[in-house]
Structure 1
Amino acid sequence: MALQLGSLTVDVPVVLAPMAGITNAAFRRLCLEQGAGLYVCEMITSRGLVEGDATTKSMLAFDELETVRSVQLYGTDPVYVGKAAEILCADYGVHHIDLNFGCPVPKVTRKGGGGALPWKRGLLGEILTAAVKAAEPYGVPVTMKTRKGIDEDHLTYLDAGRIAADTGIAAIALHGRTVQQAYSGIADWEAIGELVQAVDIPVLGNGDIWEARDALRMVEETGAAGVVVGRGCLGRPWLFRDLAAAFTGGLDEIATLPDLGEVRVMMRRHAELLCQYMGEEKGSKEFRKHVTWYLKGFRAGGALRHSLALVDSLATLDRLLEDLDPSEPFPVGELGTPRGRQGAPRKHVVLPEGWLDDADGAGCAVAEDVDSSSGG
Structure 2
Amino acid sequence: MAELTVSILHGVDALDAAAWDACGPGGDPFTTHRFLLALEQSKSVGKGTGWHPSHLVARSGDRVVGVAPLYLKTHSQGEYIFDHAWADAWQRAGGQYYPKLQCAVPFTPATGPRLIADDPQVQAALLAAMTQIAGRADLSSAHVTFCTEAERALGEAQGWLGRTTTQYHWQNAGYGNYEDFLGALSSRKRKALRKERERANAFGGRILALTGDDLRPEHWDAMWTFYQDTGGRKWGRPYLTRAFFDLLHQTMRDDCLLFLAERDGRPVAGALNLIGRETLYGRYWGCTEDHPFLHFELCYHRAIDWAIEHRLSRVEAGAQGEHKLARGYMPAETHSIHWVSDAGFRRALQGYLAQEAEAVGDDMAETAAFGPYRRGDG
Same fold per superposition (TM over 0.5) = no
Larger radius of gyration between Structure 1 and Structure 2: 2
Which protein has the bigger strand share?
2
TM-score by length of 2: 0.28
